[in-house]
Structure 1
């Protein structure tokens, strides 16, 4: 077990807190038995839910325990199935795995209910009706019984802290799963985005929400348009999946509505959404109205685990909050950053600050840290000015010892201009966190959760500069985010899309439909990343990371090497990779 979480409470009390609100009420062991284990059931097997979560947990001195990947993996159409014979996770095996962690004395849990009840996020968008779960002893549980049993079991130990992750279903199911195609996606997303009757007060009930799924804001039944005929029952299946998801979420909140479950926390994410008054709006209103103190509903789903792990750590270390100065560069912060969010960017940032107990301040000099947010350019002809403003702010913050979280919420509006400027003119390793990959809601939650967690860890940890294991995990988390955004998203990924489609005659969205030479795609990835990632890796190698706040101390980032590239979902959209770090001392060793 890692040493930092095992420091005595008395040692933490001897720490000198930072000025302002930043700091911890006292460092203390996380668990009653002195262990540092955190049991985690991921949303699925994509890198954000696996490697990145592992890096974050380890950077906070948790030992992250996860089940075998086959138990929570998602397989798209035509791909080899999991050991359970399906395209989704093994709900029975995962339930029994959680029970085994409790028997082993674990006290900390982050559990995806989309995985435990539906076999993963993608499956939760397609599953309809009641799907009972058969355990290894032959016992059969309904989904609600499984949920209730889980809550009952984990509530018996008052030392347990359990974060249950849930989601509001997105506007359309997943292309390439269960025979669902792009035409269906577009048609059903348009159908879902249409306004429904507004429900409030006593009328805001699950059954009324479900009953109004088919109705427009005027109370008339909606029609669906499609470039091609939809499969028979497509709309009915879509609405049934929504209803199932909503009823399970409602059952969860009802089951937790009691003092005996005060050690449970619910974090609901709004999946791909829209600023329109869509089919999600009544669902969001209902869930928000029934959350308990300490629960939360925030935009973003793929970042749920990051937010839960960070929040759990803040609770364990006695977090007192901090003052954050927020600065937007680009000028479009009052708009939604992309078409898949239901909130303006500044509202999204504010909601996440509130979730983590951060106080926003207009006075940068009194702030404990700064959050820099790059928006799309209000004046596209001034891209160079925005790039200069960002790099200048980063360099000034490093000079004045102001820890910085950076969010690239520009939705690719700058191409490689910003990435090149930062790589050439700033020290990337000095960031508390960075995110710019994937949808903007996820970007915001990812950067803030990682950054706040790192700041709190530096505040709460005795001699943080000496914790090589945690600092290495931090470097992996930061570099993973930067490399994938700077090197992969804007250059390598585009080339691979073209290569798979034009050279191999396949689909970039599924290497099995039709089946292509996957080794050739992997070889192209490795070759392209060797070139594209080199400047970023050199920036880290020659740069510093922040390893102490009081006193301020920096350390060499070390040499980073990337290996074992992979396409976890056999598609071009995302990649996995291993990151190895060697410090200067290790490089100098004979």
Structure 2
């Protein structure tokens, strides 16, 4: 691909910044006894993009290298700003950090382009137009030049393996960021969900897609339906942000369309969406049409790092696939799991099976593992029957030594019934993976990423039962997902929402609007979790952990404790916490 003079000059200037800071050290092939170094720029600083990504990487014997958290944090309106004086991440500092890792010899990368180009997922929904980046030496780069330079530098080492993460912008921007409120969210999400003209063939071009943003299927302008008048320019800002996002995505795929970038893989996630023929549909069709072999566009965004870490490990270990028994319990797999999915649940699952090279089997005969997917109940009066069927399947798999991935895609339809049944009757620590806490578009990718990676680790890693560090990281990741879903989401979180609104007279969506006693909220969280998490912790601490499949080996899971609870975004919706595992001596 021809390089412009600007690109060559900017790349040369950028390389002068490769100074000093500790990087990835020796490459994986040169250091077979130590963990392979993996440089990671997260989507943002929420726990599933940081702590659990670290756990997953360490469970696969990677050492995940992260920039300082202040460089990729997101701050909602009214909250203390980042050191760069912005609500979003520091694009210049992150770009320079990646270049330093390359200088120090790193050859494994997972890089969120939403963070590098927009300062995070929320920023990518808000930025419009051109937003130049000024580096520490005073050099100013356009966003496209920064992207071109980054790819140019990382493509020069054929040993590099780079996963680039991107997203299709969701139907509306973020409430509580840049002055954007609930009224704007509702009005613009409904506007985004309206059908646009269907483009195909030669008409499927970026300029025609963006030109149709304001038009319905009849070619007439669409009207925004809003309970209150939108602020002046709100619609234009929203559409301009979409246009910028699509143009950057299209430019990325154009840059990679040659042999010099064969060491890059692209993974695009579809953010909160709709089954309707929405504003996203032409965007999705365009991006899908320009993917190369080995690139993917899948439902879900907050699970992108999980999928990339697992995919990178599968590449490194020579994964050739496995046979998975797929079973749905609940009866509604042919429908979207929630209103924010743009595909039925079984389609989302099938696409992820293909991504991970899993051959789907209807029964367990000949299966290497089983994937159990709990859907919303087709017959709500039979929730007890579905709970029994799920527990029975888990017990049979344990008896038959069939490793299991469990996906709760029921979208809270069972309340605490399923969680209570699993805690009381199942042994949670023997699962390969579990997901249920995240939005429904994300649970499939989260569970399969962790589960397939664990299965591959148990079958490919030499003496996996002796690698206590990897097994500890796996237990932390598994228990993190279960505890947040079983103990926090359905009980503690609801209590905190009420406590902040009624007792503290604040907003559970932002502790700074108005500013409240955040220490009091934290104390309430700690007290509630001490009670709610206790049964789950006891389940893990009394359970077994699969540490080898051939031969089948189970060891004591060890004792788990939780500390350092926190609200990373100063809101109730998600929490961070530290999990410690004290391994018990093996039985004799």
TM-score (ref. length: structure 2): 0.94
- In the other structure, the counterpart of 1:364 is 364
**CA deviation after TM superposition for structure 1 residue 383, in Å:** 0.3
- In the other structure, the counterpart of 1:208 is 208
- In the other structure, the counterpart of 2:424 is 424
Once residues 247 and 91 of structure 2 are traced to their aligned partners in structure 1, the CA distance between those partners, rounded to angstroms, is 18
- Show CA shifts across 1:428-477 (max 9, x none): 00100000012111111000010000000001011100000000000000
Query: Could you tell me whether the CA contact under 8 Å between 1:329 and 1:389 is conserved in 2?
Result: yes
- In the other structure, the counterpart of 1:577 is 577
- In the other structure, the counterpart of 1:83 is 83
- In the other structure, the counterpart of 2:18 is none
**CA deviation after TM superposition for structure 1 residue 585, in Å:** 2.6
**CA deviation after TM superposition for structure 1 residue 363, in Å:** 2.9
- In the other structure, the counterpart of 2:152 is 152
- In the other structure, the counterpart of 1:323 is 323
- Show CA shifts across 1:324-380 (max 9, x none): 010000000000000001010000000001001111112312100000000000000
Structure 2 CA distance for partners of 1:388 and 1:180, relative to 1, 3 Å: same
- In the other structure, the counterpart of 2:376 is 376
- In the other structure, the counterpart of 1:537 is 537
- In the other structure, the counterpart of 2:92 is 92
Partner-residue secondary structure (3-state), 1:165: strand
- In the other structure, the counterpart of 2:256 is 256
Query: Could you tell me whether the CA contact under 8 Å between 1:31 and 1:159 is conserved in 2?
Result: no
Structure 2 CA distance for partners of 1:381 and 1:79, relative to 1, 3 Å: same
List structure 1 runs of 4+ shifted beyond 4 angstroms. 32-35
> For 1:63-462, what aligned pairs fall within 5 Å after superposition?
63-462=63-462
The more displaced of 138-147 and 361-370 is 361-370
Gaps of 5+ in 2: 1-26
**CA deviation after TM superposition for structure 1 residue 587, in Å:** 13
- Show CA shifts across 1:92-149 (max 9, x none): 0000000000001000000000000000000100000000000001111000000000
Partner-residue secondary structure (3-state), 1:167: strand
Structure 2 CA distance for partners of 1:33 and 1:552, relative to 1, 3 Å: closer
Partner-residue secondary structure (3-state), 1:315: helix
- In the other structure, the counterpart of 2:549 is 549
Partner-residue secondary structure (3-state), 1:364: coil
- Show CA shifts across 1:36-91 (max 9, x none): 10000000000000001000000000000000000000000000000000000000
Once residues 434 and 533 of structure 1 are traced to their aligned partners in structure 2, the CA distance between those partners, rounded to angstroms, is 16
**CA deviation after TM superposition for structure 1 residue 586, in Å:** 10
Query: Could you tell me whether the CA contact under 8 Å between 2:555 and 2:586 is conserved in 1?
Result: no
Partner-residue secondary structure (3-state), 2:365: helix
- In the other structure, the counterpart of 2:46 is 46
- Show CA shifts across 1:133-187 (max 9, x none): 0000111100000000000000000000000000000000000000000000000
Once residues 306 and 103 of structure 2 are traced to their aligned partners in structure 1, the CA distance between those partners, rounded to angstroms, is 25
- Show CA shifts across 1:473-497 (max 9, x none): 0000000000000000000000000
**CA deviation after TM superposition for structure 1 residue 32, in Å:** 5.2
**CA deviation after TM superposition for structure 1 residue 31, in Å:** 3.8
- In the other structure, the counterpart of 1:61 is 61
Once residues 155 and 57 of structure 2 are traced to their aligned partners in structure 1, the CA distance between those partners, rounded to angstroms, is 23
Partner-residue secondary structure (3-state), 2:411: coil
Once residues 384 and 586 of structure 1 are traced to their aligned partners in structure 2, the CA distance between those partners, rounded to angstroms, is 37
Once residues 454 and 138 of structure 2 are traced to their aligned partners in structure 1, the CA distance between those partners, rounded to angstroms, is 45
**Higher RCO (C-alpha under 8 Å, 6+ residues apart):** 1
Partner-residue secondary structure (3-state), 2:163: strand
Partner-residue secondary structure (3-state), 1:538: helix
- In the other structure, the counterpart of 1:478 is 478
Once residues 83 and 126 of structure 1 are traced to their aligned partners in structure 2, the CA distance between those partners, rounded to angstroms, is 20
Query: Could you tell me whether the CA contact under 8 Å between 2:326 and 2:363 is conserved in 1?
Result: no
Partner-residue secondary structure (3-state), 1:106: coil
Partner-residue secondary structure (3-state), 1:585: coil
- In the other structure, the counterpart of 2:3 is none
Structure 2 CA distance for partners of 1:240 and 1:444, relative to 1, 3 Å: same
**CA deviation after TM superposition for structure 1 residue 30, in Å:** 4.5
Once residues 33 and 43 of structure 1 are traced to their aligned partners in structure 2, the CA distance between those partners, rounded to angstroms, is 29
- In the other structure, the counterpart of 2:13 is none
Query: Could you tell me whether the CA contact under 8 Å between 1:30 and 1:316 is conserved in 2?
Result: no
**CA deviation after TM superposition for structure 1 residue 217, in Å:** 1.1
**CA deviation after TM superposition for structure 1 residue 584, in Å:** 1.1
- In the other structure, the counterpart of 2:21 is none
Q: CA RMSD in A?
A: 1.2
**CA deviation after TM superposition for structure 1 residue 241, in Å:** 0.1
TM-score (ref. length: structure 1): 0.94
Once residues 312 and 254 of structure 1 are traced to their aligned partners in structure 2, the CA distance between those partners, rounded to angstroms, is 23
- In the other structure, the counterpart of 1:14 is none
Partner-residue secondary structure (3-state), 1:247: helix
Once residues 267 and 195 of structure 2 are traced to their aligned partners in structure 1, the CA distance between those partners, rounded to angstroms, is 25
> For 1:559-574, what aligned pairs fall within 5 Å after superposition?
559-574=559-574
Structure 2 CA distance for partners of 1:89 and 1:587, relative to 1, 3 Å: farther
Partner-residue secondary structure (3-state), 1:129: coil
Once residues 137 and 554 of structure 2 are traced to their aligned partners in structure 1, the CA distance between those partners, rounded to angstroms, is 55
Query: Could you tell me whether the CA contact under 8 Å between 1:32 and 1:159 is conserved in 2?
Result: no
Once residues 176 and 474 of structure 1 are traced to their aligned partners in structure 2, the CA distance between those partners, rounded to angstroms, is 34
- In the other structure, the counterpart of 1:4 is none
- Show CA shifts across 1:306-334 (max 9, x none): 00000000000000100001000000000
**CA deviation after TM superposition for structure 1 residue 33, in Å:** 5.5
Query: Could you tell me whether the CA contact under 8 Å between 1:429 and 1:540 is conserved in 2?
Result: yes
Partner-residue secondary structure (3-state), 1:239: helix
Once residues 339 and 218 of structure 2 are traced to their aligned partners in structure 1, the CA distance between those partners, rounded to angstroms, is 24
**CA deviation after TM superposition for structure 1 residue 244, in Å:** 0.1
Once residues 542 and 74 of structure 1 are traced to their aligned partners in structure 2, the CA distance between those partners, rounded to angstroms, is 38
Once residues 583 and 323 of structure 2 are traced to their aligned partners in structure 1, the CA distance between those partners, rounded to angstroms, is 32
Partner-residue secondary structure (3-state), 2:213: helix
Query: Could you tell me whether the CA contact under 8 Å between 1:165 and 1:268 is conserved in 2?
Result: yes
